[in-house]
Amino acid sequence: MTTRPAAAVTAAGLAAVLLAACSSGSGSDGASGKGFAGALPAHAPATPTATQTPTPTPTPLPAGPYVALGDSYTAGIKIAPQVGDPKGCDRSGANYPSLVAKALGLAPGQFQDVSCSGARTGDLTSPQQTNGGANPPQLDALTPATRLVTVGIGGNDAGFMEVVTQCAKDNLVDAVKGLVGSGRAASPCRDRYAAGGTDEVQRKVDAAGDRLGRALKEIARRSPQARVYVVGYPALLPADPASCGPVLGSTLAPADLGFLVEKEQQLNGMLRKRAESAGAVFVDAATPSAGHDMCAGGARWVEPPFPAPGLAAIHPNAKGQEAVAAVVLKAVKG
């Protein structure tokens, strides 16, 4: 009987976990609010003297209603406590929208979280089927009275989790070829998606941007008085992917890890561009998450392919949700 090579075992396990991560929730894709300040106190500005510069009146914080829209990175898949219906949305009561609402002191009736794991931009205007029932069109939660909206979506439209999974598969096949003497490619995943000179991932990101742009216009139409914040995705990998060796092993080519970093940057860049074009605010979650990626050990905000027990692979953990909540609050408070 022969023994299966260690590299192939590692890659096979990684690919299997990634596939499981992508099938969680609807089939695609505990923290507290402590430490977050509440609404800023309203102080009357001092009367300026001849030598003083008038103090600008701060923009008042939204008092609600607040509606949170998004996919699994917003919903908080597998983070306790799981709340709301349908159960297939895997929505956490400790996700960043819930923490933001708590920090703003919003009453339950002033906050509605309709995010859902696996959501795409099309699910903003159409029902989303999950393994626990249908989630109504997310934009149906908006009204003319809505004053605050956060949107965290686009990764599933771009097929980002599918790209991560395919990269694991391609590297597995390439590793096996290397073991039988065929040699390894420098970047088998990049080779796949850039075949023929066309960047297939960029094409999907651009198409997702078009759909998001239309969705943001619809949000503005339904809730014209709302302040809208488009929330980006946290960094999944460090700037130097080679440092992920202890976590991801040597099977995944460093060049392909770099490829994934590049694709996530393109995705966040698209979200920023679309937010600014629509007059919304882009909330950068990638920059503050530097050093807290899936390979950062105990400091990580995103779980690796082999996550801590009970958590979702390649998704934010409770620390990650707290961190994003802090960034969103900073943006809201201006």
Q: What angle do CA 4, 10, 12 make, to 5 degrees?
A: 80
Catalytic residue among 24, 26, 72, 187: 72
Active-site residue, 43 included:
no
Q: How far apart are CA 62 and CA 88, in angstroms?
A: 30
Q: How many Å from the N-terminal Cα to the C-terminal Cα in the chain?
A: 65
List, by residue number, the catalytic residues.
72, 315
